[in-house]
Chain A
């Protein structure tokens, strides 16, 4: 098809060759060409946060990132975080707290919340609400999502204590 180019992207630790328009958004390439569908297309304007992915380890909007500008950079989607301990803890507490209803916002919430938990030792409720303010959820009213992140922080610090004690 006219205007398509072949370019290489490094996604979730693997080199992937993509045949797409170079001005396609990263989100379009992930979902439509690579069938990585954790990131969702909500507003396509950078407002809703459902498309949040990591670029060189930093959370960005997949819908505001042009795929052609990502060559040579490391893209990580929620699929690539499946074995990440912080993500696992957040997934568990999201299920237990009922932080997932329709689920459309959940992937973006997890990627953003994981970054907060990885960067902040003990985030307060205020920190959590602020960090997630760019991720919209139309179902839960946020209370259970905030609870889930708080609980994950507690669970992770407990796990760390247990590991330290086991080593000693």
Chain B
């Protein structure tokens, strides 16, 4: 049995979480309430963040960077014109989460806090070098998402901290793409790939193949200038396969996922090079 409280400011929410260690913050509820219904979690209180106005909206800051509020639903992210160029993949990912009705409920803060390794947002945010804006009793901190994602469903969030936003670098002009292979539209990904053009190279992140999206910065540097060389692309794909630690589950075997990675990554690179 839990109570529901609906604070109207971040400070109020955090103060409540500090005073009630068994309370849990709740954003859209799309995953959390499903877990509650399945009796997988317990809480003294659900602290709904739905009435905190400062967590809403997507804004471009003076330096060109873009901040997505923690309570922005997937529906709004999927339709946001500020996410263009090499940030466009974030819109594409948001628009492929679950279905129309769930996209009205689920939020980017909730998805990042839950950190499901197969979630659509994680590879695009890792590919975009996003930072997670975390607010807690000690104030606000920004953490690169690659440091924020610690292990399977484990993040760097401390007790009484909440994800208040996602900070994205200024949009680059290069195209970007999110490719998702799923059993059926709206399912979690079997494998997903985010790819953004960056000068004469690419940034690539692979989702659902380990505790956090795979990223190979050294291999990305080695590939720069050689995007039209099939052997170089193949070597790059192998570097990502070597980092993978997939599991067997209902969406596919680990072996199947390893087979998909090079195919999907090569296709994503073709998408952002316009077939050099």
A-B contact count (CB 8 A): 90
- Of A55-63, A77-85, A138-146, A147-155, the segment with at least 4 beta carbons within 8 Å of chain B is A55-63
Given A45-B37, A134-B98, decide whether A64 and B105 contact each other with a Cβ distance below 8 A. yes
Given A3-B1, A21-B1, A134-B186, decide whether A61 and B26 contact each other with a Cβ distance below 8 A. no
Residues of B within 8 A of A5 (CB): 3
A16 at the interface (CB under 8 A from B): no
Q: Which of A44, A45, A59, A66 has the most CB of B within 10 A?
A: A66
Contact of A64 among B3, B4, B33, B50 (CB under 8 A): B33
Interface flags, A1-29, vs B, CB<8A=1, else 0: 01101000000000000000111010000
* B76 to A: closest C-beta gap in Å: 11
Residues of B within 8 A of A49 (CB): 99, 101
Is there an interface contact between B26 and A66, defined as CB atoms closer than 8 Å?
yes
Is there an interface contact between A58 and B37, defined as CB atoms closer than 8 Å?
no
Residues of A within 8 A of B26 (CB): 66, 69
B6 at the interface (CB under 8 A from A): yes
* A105 to B: closest C-beta gap in Å: 13
A133 at the interface (CB under 8 A from B): yes
* B120 to A: closest C-beta gap in Å: 15
Contact of B2 among A2, A23, A71, A134 (CB under 8 A): A23
* B73 to A: closest C-beta gap in Å: 9
* A51 to B: closest C-beta gap in Å: 10
Q: Which of A3, A60, A61, A64 has the most CB of B within 10 A?
A: A64
Is there an interface contact between A69 and B101, defined as CB atoms closer than 8 Å?
no
- Measured between alpha carbons, how far is A25 from B26 in the docked complex, in Å? 14
A68 at the interface (CB under 8 A from B): yes
- Measured between alpha carbons, how far is A95 from B41 in the docked complex, in Å? 42
* A128 to B: closest C-beta gap in Å: 11
Is there an interface contact between B37 and A69, defined as CB atoms closer than 8 Å?
no
Contact of B105 among A60, A68, A130 (CB under 8 A): A60
Residues of B within 8 A of A23 (CB): 1-4, 36, 46
B222 at the interface (CB under 8 A from A): no
